[in-house]
Structure 1
Amino acid sequence: MTKMAPTSAAQLILFELEDRSQSHLIALYDLAPRFVFVSRDNDKEKVAKDKGELVTKDSFIKSVRREFAFRGRNYRLTVQPARIDRLSTAKKDDRAPGSGPDLVEVEIFPSEREQVVEQVVRRLAMDRSRLSLTGENRDKVQMRFSLYEIQRELRAVNHTLSIQDIRESLTILARSRIIISTGGSAEPGKKSRGQNLLESTAFPVLAIRSRPDLVDEDGGVEETYLEFNPLVSAAIRDLEFKPVSYAWLMKLKSPVSRWLYNRLSIEYDTADDDAKPVSISADEIIKNSGMNEWSRRRDTLRVVTSAVDALVDEGILDVADKEYTKVGKRIDAIDYVLTPSQKFLDQVRRGRRVQTTNIDLLKQIVGNAMRPDGFVPLKAGEAAEVRNKRAKRLADPSRTEQASLPLPKK
Structure 2
Amino acid sequence: MSKGNQLTFLDNSQDALTPKHEPIPIAKKKPAKKRISPHKPVPPDAYSNHQLCLFQDFLANTNDERDQLGNAFDLWDSVPRFSITRKRQEEMRLPSGALPICTIDFKYRGNEFKILIRPARLKDPITGEEKEHYPGAREELVEHALRKIAVDDGFYDVDGFRSGCRFTLHRLRTHLADQGHTLRYDELTEALDILSLSNIDIQGETDDAEVCYTRMNYLSLLARVSKKDHSVNNSQDSKWLIQFHPLITNSISNLTYRQFNYRRLMKCRTQLSRWLISQLVLKYTQASLTNNFIMRYSTIKRDSALLEGYKRERDAIATLDASWDELKSLGVLTSYTKAEERGKRAKIVDVVYTIFPSPQFTAEQKASNRRLIDAKKSIEEGIRKIR
Fold in common (TM above 0.5): yes
Q: Percent same amino acid among aligned pairs?
A: 23
Q: Distance in 2 between matches of 1:104 and 1:141?
A: 34
Equivalent in 160, 168, 193 of residue 146 of structure 1: 168
| Alpha-carbon displacement from aligned partner over 1:122-172 (angstroms, at most 9, x marks no partner) | 000011x532528xx332224211111110000101001011111111111
Equivalent in 20, 35, 38 of residue 67 of structure 2: 20
Cα distance change, pair 344–294 in 1 and its aligned pair in 2 (3 A)? same
Shift of 1:56: 4.2
Q: 1:373 — aligned with what?
A: none
- Structure 2 residue 300 is matched with structure 1 residue 285: yes
Q: 1:195 — aligned with what?
A: 212
Q: 1:78 — aligned with what?
A: 116
Q: Distance in 2 between matches of 1:349 and 1:217?
A: 44
SS at match of 1:334: strand
- Structure 2 residue 248 is matched with structure 1 residue 232: yes
Q: Distance in 1 between matches of 2:382 and 2:224?
A: 36
TM-score (norm: length of structure 2): 0.79
Equivalent in 75, 85, 88 of residue 38 of structure 1: 85
Name the count of aligned residue pairs: 338
* Conservation of the 8 A alpha-carbon contact between 1:39 and 1:294: no
Q: Distance in 2 between matches of 1:16 and 1:139?
A: 17
Equivalent in 292, 296, 304 of residue 320 of structure 2: 304
- Structure 2 residue 25 is matched with structure 1 residue 9: no
The one-letter amino acid paired with 1:120 is A
* Conservation of the 8 A alpha-carbon contact between 1:316 and 1:344: yes
Once the two structures are overlaid, the 10-residue window that deviates more, 346-355 or 3-12, is 3-12
Equivalent in 353, 356, 364 of residue 339 of structure 1: 356
Cα distance change, pair 237–214 in 1 and its aligned pair in 2 (3 A)? farther
Q: 1:395 — aligned with what?
A: none
SS at match of 2:143: helix
Q: 1:179 — aligned with what?
A: 201
The one-letter amino acid paired with 1:66 is I
* Conservation of the 8 A alpha-carbon contact between 1:35 and 1:290: no
SS at match of 2:337: strand
| Alpha-carbon displacement from aligned partner over 1:290-329 (angstroms, at most 9, x marks no partner) | 2133122222221121112211121211111111234646
Q: Distance in 2 between matches of 1:366 and 1:83?
A: 47
| Alpha-carbon displacement from aligned partner over 1:23-70 (angstroms, at most 9, x marks no partner) | 101111011101133276xxxxx56136xx55647xx42222122222
Cα distance change, pair 3–324 in 1 and its aligned pair in 2 (3 A)? closer
- Structure 2 residue 137 is matched with structure 1 residue 112: yes
Cα distance change, pair 332–211 in 1 and its aligned pair in 2 (3 A)? farther
The one-letter amino acid paired with 1:324 is E
- Structure 2 residue 366 is matched with structure 1 residue 349: yes
* Conservation of the 8 A alpha-carbon contact between 2:338 and 2:351: yes
Cα distance change, pair 159–211 in 1 and its aligned pair in 2 (3 A)? farther
- Structure 2 residue 90 is matched with structure 1 residue 48: yes
Cα distance change, pair 10–85 in 1 and its aligned pair in 2 (3 A)? same
SS at match of 2:181: coil
Q: 1:67 — aligned with what?
A: 105
* Conservation of the 8 A alpha-carbon contact between 2:168 and 2:236: no
Q: Distance in 2 between matches of 1:334 and 1:368?
A: 53
SS at match of 2:167: strand
Q: Distance in 2 between matches of 1:333 and 1:158?
A: 35
SS at match of 2:311: coil
Shift of 1:267: 2.2
Shift of 1:73: 2.0
Alignment of 1:243-262 (within 5 A): 243-262=259-278
Q: Distance in 2 between matches of 1:130 and 1:140?
A: 11
Larger Rg: 1
Equivalent in 169, 174, 191 of residue 169 of structure 1: 191
Q: Distance in 2 between matches of 1:257 and 1:305?
A: 10
Q: 1:359 — aligned with what?
A: 376
SS at match of 2:238: strand
The one-letter amino acid paired with 1:6 is P
TM-score (norm: length of structure 1): 0.75
What are the ranges of 5 or more consecutive residues in structure 2 without an aligned counterpart? 1-38, 59-65
Q: Distance in 2 between matches of 1:147 and 1:211?
A: 15
Once the two structures are overlaid, the 10-residue window that deviates more, 65-74 or 348-357, is 65-74
* Conservation of the 8 A alpha-carbon contact between 1:210 and 1:220: no
Shift of 1:337: 1.1
Q: Distance in 2 between matches of 1:272 and 1:297?
A: 30
* Conservation of the 8 A alpha-carbon contact between 1:200 and 1:229: yes
Cα distance change, pair 249–22 in 1 and its aligned pair in 2 (3 A)? same
Q: 2:36 — aligned with what?
A: none
- Structure 2 residue 276 is matched with structure 1 residue 276: no
Shift of 1:332: 4.8
